[in-house]
Amino acid sequence: MTVKVITIAQQKGGAGKTTVAAQLAVAAAGLGRKVGIIDIDPQGSLSQWFALRKENGHPGLTVSAVTGWRVTNEIDRLARHHDLILIDSPPHAETEAKMAIRAGHLVLVPVQPSPLDLWATRPTLDIARTEKRPVLLVLNRLSGRSPIAVEMVAAAADMGVEVARTKLGNRGAFAASMAVGQGVTEFAPDTIGAREALKLAREVLARM
């Protein structure tokens, strides 16, 4: 199988980018994909999560931390043994974000349920358009049955952006699983959060 690359990008901080990357990686691995992750965010949160993962004996993924300048070479290296590669790109770093977006076959953009957060995605969307990369917005941290989700989908359509059918709720299980180096599908497999993570993984993989 030809390797597919998904870049998780969001110039606005605090959107849950790293959590989405980790949850998607674990869920995709559970669906039989050989997943490699490239962490080019200087904060290194995903690498810290992976360190916990190894410490607690949860295998099945590869995570490498590199600078954005090395992302293409790292993709080539991981492609020898993986069929899906996720890139966790940095916020507020246009050059490195541009490199990560350019390297992806699909760009996932997590966004919190707020018009302000949606408007703040414009720099990321502009880079993706310049690089001619397809974009999928992922509504993240939704509360209950808030009508804001419908409004966000409509607003995104006005901006010419597609929104994933799968929406991620504001689930404590997501954070709890990250704290022990797991994904929610491992940590709490019978929860709504686990079902959401698997549904998102299936939706994204179907597009690849």
Return the SS3 of 53: helix
Least Cα distance to 83 among 39, 30, 37, 35 occurs for: 35
Does residue 146 carry a pLDDT above 80?
no
Per-residue pLDDT, 90: 81
Work out the percent of the chain whose per-residue pLDDT is above 70: 97
* Rounded CA Rg of the chain: 16
Does residue 157 carry a pLDDT above 80?
yes
Cα end-to-end distance, the chain, whole Å:
11
Residues 131-157: what's their mean pLDDT? Answer: 88
Walk me through the domains of the chain, giving residue ranges and CATH numbers.
4-203 (3.40.50.300)
Q: Which range in 29-43, 92-106, 118-132, 187-201 is most confidently predicted, on average pLDDT?
A: 187-201
Whether 183 contacts 23, CB under 8 Å: yes
Strand partners, 63: 37
State the Cα angle at 88 between 85 and 89, rounded to 5°: 125
Distance CA 38, CA 27 (A): 17
Structure tokens at 164: 């994933």
- The secondary structure element, H or E, covering residue 47 is helix 45-55
Per-residue pLDDT, 14: 78
More confident residue, 33 or 2: 33
Whether 7 contacts 103, CB under 8 Å: yes
Per-residue pLDDT, 1: 54
Q: What is the pLDDT of residues 80-122, one digit of tens each?
A: 999 999 999 887 667 888 999 999 999 999 999 888 888 889 9
Per-residue pLDDT, 172: 94
